[in-house]
Structures are given as C-alpha cells and as structure tokens.
Amino acid sequence: MNSNIYYDAIGIFHNQDEIDNYPHMDGARPGDVIFRDVNGDKTINGEDKIRINKSDVPTWTGGLNLYAKYKGFDLTMLFQGQAGAVRYVQQTGSLTNNKNYLKSFYDNRWTEANPNANYPRTFNRNDEYWVNSDNQNTFWLHKTDFIRLKNIELGYTLPASIAKKLACQMIRLTVSGMNLLTYSPDMKDYDPELAYKGDGFAGSGYPIQKIITTGISINF
C-alpha cells in the first residue's frame, strides 16, 4: 500500500567512457546517476522502472521499557524503533549560489577533481533527468529504520531519616531526558520520523527536539 515505482539507481557515471558503454538518457554527463537497464534493451525509459514494495509506513514498530532500582536510586528507560519503511529525500539544489545542499552531499559530490565520488555532481533542481519529478529513482530513497532512546529518567530518593529531619515524608530528586539518542544507519541528515508538510522534500517538517528536565518531588 502506497508503494511506488522508481528507476533503479546503481551508481554514478564517473567519466565519459562509462557513459559511452552503458545505456543512458539523453544529455547524460559525468557525475550523473546511472539508471539500471532492467529489461536489457539498451534503452532507458519507463519500462525500466521497478516497484519498491515499501512506503513511509513501517513494517515493524516496537518499544522496550527497562526499569532498575538500587538502594535510593531508580532508573527508567524507554526505547522505541521502527523498520521496513522508506522515504524519498531529494534536495533542492541550486548551481547559481551553491545553496540548498547538505554538507554530506556537497563534501562527497562528483567533481573533476573527485571523479570517483559516490554522490552526483551539484545540480539545479529538475534540470537533470535524475532529479526530475518524472524520473523518481532509488538514489533518493532512504530507509527510515531507527532505534531511539525516547525517554530516560534517573531518580534518587533521600533516606527517610533525612526527609524526616526536613519535616517531610519523602523527597525525590529526578533528572530526565527525551529523544537524547537516535541510531538510524541510512537517515543521518534528517530525523527518521520527520513529517512532511506536503511539498515532497525533506526538511519541511520541524524536527523532534531533545529535552532535558530536572525535578523534585516532596511529600509532607
């Protein structure tokens, strides 16, 4: 459900010889994305698109609650995660001012001085066949698998003898955090749970915030 069809991106044309020896769309240049010739007819067209049987809805979601207590200390942790979803993350590049590129893309892009790069050259949005909205391809498709430390709380309850001297029944100190750690092997530049506003490009949603709080609970 909600899966799509894409050209299968299998690498980057590093030089003109690679272009001359593999089927490509008109106007291909070194630094462009290679589309796989799926049906082997030496032509790249709509018949070479493949269906990716995944969408932005994860196949698996889960969570793990952990609790530990030692003397006056207690620790609670909540991990959550998902697997099996993908998201189309395309940058809105601009050659005119070298803006709208992620640093990870810009530092690893194809250039004449770096012809063996794994990222394509810089581009103007929709000017190239491999960023045109009609030619969506798997280069921009990223897994959103992740494991996140969603909540953690460390508490310490003062001994009853100390609380009694302070005219209290119980005093508990806490420090807690939300969204402190996230492991997502394929979605490193954006939050894997990032929501879109509908324009189809990553970064349009507000990222999840890290929050640290402290507190004290007193029972009289």
* Mean pLDDT within 114-135: 89
203, pLDDT greater than 80 = no
59, pLDDT greater than 80 = yes
| Cα end-to-end span (Å), the chain | 56
Distance separating alpha carbons of residues 46 and 29, to the nearest angstrom: 20
194, pLDDT greater than 80 = no
Q: What is the pLDDT of residue 12?
A: 96
pTM of the model: 0.83
Q: Which of 35, 31, 2 lies closest to 14, judged by CA?
A: 31
Q: What is the pLDDT of residue 198?
A: 47
Distance separating alpha carbons of residues 160 and 171, to the nearest angstrom: 8
- Confidence category of residue 70, pLDDT binned at 50, 70, 90: very high
111, pLDDT greater than 90 = yes
- H or E element in which residue 128 lies: none
Q: Which of 192, 190, 141 lies closest to 33, judged by CA?
A: 141
Least confident of 103-107, 181-185, 211-215: 103-107
Secondary structure of 164-188 in HEC code, one letter for each residue: HHCCCCEEEEEEEEEEEEEECCCCC
Residue of 101 and 80 predicted with greater confidence: 80
Q: pLDDT, tens digit, for every residue of 85-103?
A: 999 888 776 666 556 788 8
Q: pLDDT, tens digit, for every residue of 3-18?
A: 899 999 999 999 999 9
200, pLDDT greater than 60 = no
Mean pLDDT (the chain, rounded): 90
- Confidence category of residue 39, pLDDT binned at 50, 70, 90: very high
What percent of the chain clears pLDDT 70, i.e. is strictly above it? 92
Q: Which of 98, 103, 183, 90 lies closest to 141, judged by CA?
A: 90
Q: Which of 191, 214, 216, 213 lies closest to 202, judged by CA?
A: 191
Distance separating alpha carbons of residues 167 and 109, to the nearest angstrom: 66
Task: Please give the distance of CA 20 from its chain centroid, rounded to a whole number.
Answer: 34
3-state secondary structure of 89: coil
Distance separating alpha carbons of residues 216 and 50, to the nearest angstrom: 57
* Mean pLDDT within 117-136: 88
The sign one gets for the Cα dihedral 157, 158, 164, 168 is: negative
Q: What is the pLDDT of residue 204?
A: 55
Residue of 91 and 57 predicted with greater confidence: 57
Q: pLDDT, tens digit, for every residue of 159-186?
A: 999 999 999 999 999 999 999 999 999 9
Least confident of 32-41, 80-89, 110-119, 125-134: 125-134
